[in-house]
Amino acid sequence: MFILLLTYDPLYVRILLAALMILIVAGYLLYRLDRARRARQARLKAPSRAPAPVPSSPQLFRQFVRPRSSLLGDVMRGLLILLAICVAAGFILILLPEGAVDRMAQIIRLRNGGLPQEETISLLYLGDETQGKEFHIRGVIRNISTQPIEKLDATVRLYAPDGSLLETTVVRMDTEVIAPDAIASFHLTYLDYSGQFGSYTVDFKLRQGGILSYKDMRGAHANS
């Protein structure tokens, strides 16, 4: 689940980790408060009695005074250690720049893929223009496989000039089924544009599947 979110959109991972850390801290505080409440109740209910005699043998004395941790306590301590490691990893991931998170997502995507994925689409055109206060991004692809491609979307990530991710938008292609050797396009219009975007990237993802690798044919298409 974590890997799927990271490869799809790192922003969702940051939101998920922030919510997870809040839940972990709240759960830990509730656990500590419950333990303190139980200890107070146990002290109030405990009857007053004379101190027990101290064993004469040193070994028996150590066995008598050594606290015996319950199985539940050991499990809770192990879970708290594991949650602390997760929280530390979450803080590190949240503090990383967006570019580093994107590179991590690409590395995970490549490692999970094993062998290089065969391109099923080619990118023929990708460009942008500004019209007044509107920012337009257009792209054109071709199905270079022998099978039709259904329900393909374009995922556009918009970055600030400093490289931080500002927005992620999913745009539908202009056709639901792209036949072999057929062409499809997408068009993103961003309103109230004031020059806040420094760059953008585009990935193509099946609506009910993974990301499709593409062959960049923009240079060949322009020279033909």
pLDDT at position 61: 47
Same domain, 60 and 143: no
Same domain, 97 and 158: no
pLDDT at position 53: 60
Same domain, 169 and 126: yes
pLDDT at position 62: 52
pLDDT at position 179: 96
Q: Judge contact between 171 and 153, C-beta under 8 A.
A: yes
Q: Judge contact between 168 and 101, C-beta under 8 A.
A: no
Domain boundary (111, 142, 168) is at 111
Ordered mean pLDDT values, 10 residues apiece, the chain (224 residues): 48 66 74 76 68 55 50 69 72 60 59 64 95 94 95 94 92 95 95 92 90 85 51
Kindly report the CATH number assigned to the domain that includes residue 178. 2.60.40.10
pLDDT at position 24: 76
In a domain, 116, yes or no: no
Same domain, 97 and 128: no
3-state helix, strand, coil in the chain (%, to 5): 45, 30, 30
pLDDT at position 186: 97
Same domain, 141 and 199: yes
Q: Is 121 helix (H, G, I), strand (E, B) or coil?
A: strand
Q: How far is CA 126 from CA 93, 137, 155, 218, in A?
A: 31, 7, 13, 8
Handedness of CA 190, 179, 119, 140 (dihedral sign): negative
Domain boundary (111, 130, 161) is at 111
Same domain, 94 and 176: no
pLDDT at position 57: 54
Q: DSSP H helical segments within the chain, as ranges?
A: 2-8, 10-45, 58-65, 71-95, 98-113, 218-223
Same domain, 145 and 106: no
Angle formed at CA 21 by CA 28 and CA 26, multiple of 5 degrees: 30
Domain boundary (53, 85, 111) is at 111
User: What domain range includes position 129?
Assistant: 121-223
User: What is the separation of C-alpha 88 from the centre of its chain, rounded to a whole number of angstroms?
Assistant: 15
Rg (CA), the chain: 29
pTM of the complete model: 0.52
Number of domains composing the chain: 2
